[in-house]
Amino acid sequence: MQTEFIISTNGPGLYEFTRDVRNWLNSVSGDGLLTLFVRHTSCSLTIQENADPEVQSDLRAFFDRLVPPSDDPAMAYLRHTYEGPDDMPAHIKAALLAVSLSIPVSIGQPMLGTWQGIYLFEHRTAAHVRRVAAHFA
């Protein structure tokens, strides 16, 4: 079984889509393995705490500090800069983080921990429509 999740973003941040995944798996049911794969090179996927929004803002702040925009003097070595100061740093962040996730499924439910949620981590400053391919076997 396969589907695709469409996630609209409004700039950098973590966008939870756990509910969408759960709803789709409810229609599939059964046991197996869910694979999620983001079809873009400037965002990533992560499983993170979904109880305290400070976790998401702290993660974003950490990666912004780790990989600042290309117009920051510390990033003067970057050559791919013609798509804006956020573009190459977004590619670097996506290379450091996961672009696919494997999640066990039991009786049609992802086997996530109590406080775990599935997120698309947007690294670009402009709004985007992101596509996440899902495969359940």
Amino acid identity for residue 74 in this structure? A
Check whether 28 has a pLDDT greater than 90.
Answer: no
CA dihedral of residues 6, 11, 14, 16 (deg, nearest 10): -30
Cβ burial, residue 123 (10 Å; 0-12/13-18/19+):
buried
Can you tell me the mean pLDDT for 60-65?
A: 97
Least confident of 25-29, 31-35, 80-84, 111-115: 25-29
Using an 8 Å Cβ cutoff, are 15 and 9 in contact?
Answer: yes
Can you tell me the mean pLDDT for 12-24?
A: 98
Structure tokens belonging to residue 71: 């117009």
Residues 6+ apart with CB under 8 A from 131: 4, 5, 6, 7, 38, 39, 40
Cβ burial, residue 93 (10 Å; 0-12/13-18/19+):
buried
Check whether 107 has a pLDDT greater than 90.
Answer: yes
Q: Which band of pLDDT confidence, cut at 50, 70 and 90, is reported for residue 129?
A: very high
Can you tell me the mean pLDDT for 30-49?
A: 97
Check whether 111 has a pLDDT greater than 90.
Answer: yes
Using an 8 Å Cβ cutoff, are 86 and 125 in contact?
Answer: yes
The pLDDT score that the predictor gives to residue 73 is 97
Can you tell me the mean pLDDT for 3-9?
A: 98
Q: Which band of pLDDT confidence, cut at 50, 70 and 90, is reported for residue 29?
A: confident
Give CA 100 to chain center in angstroms: 9
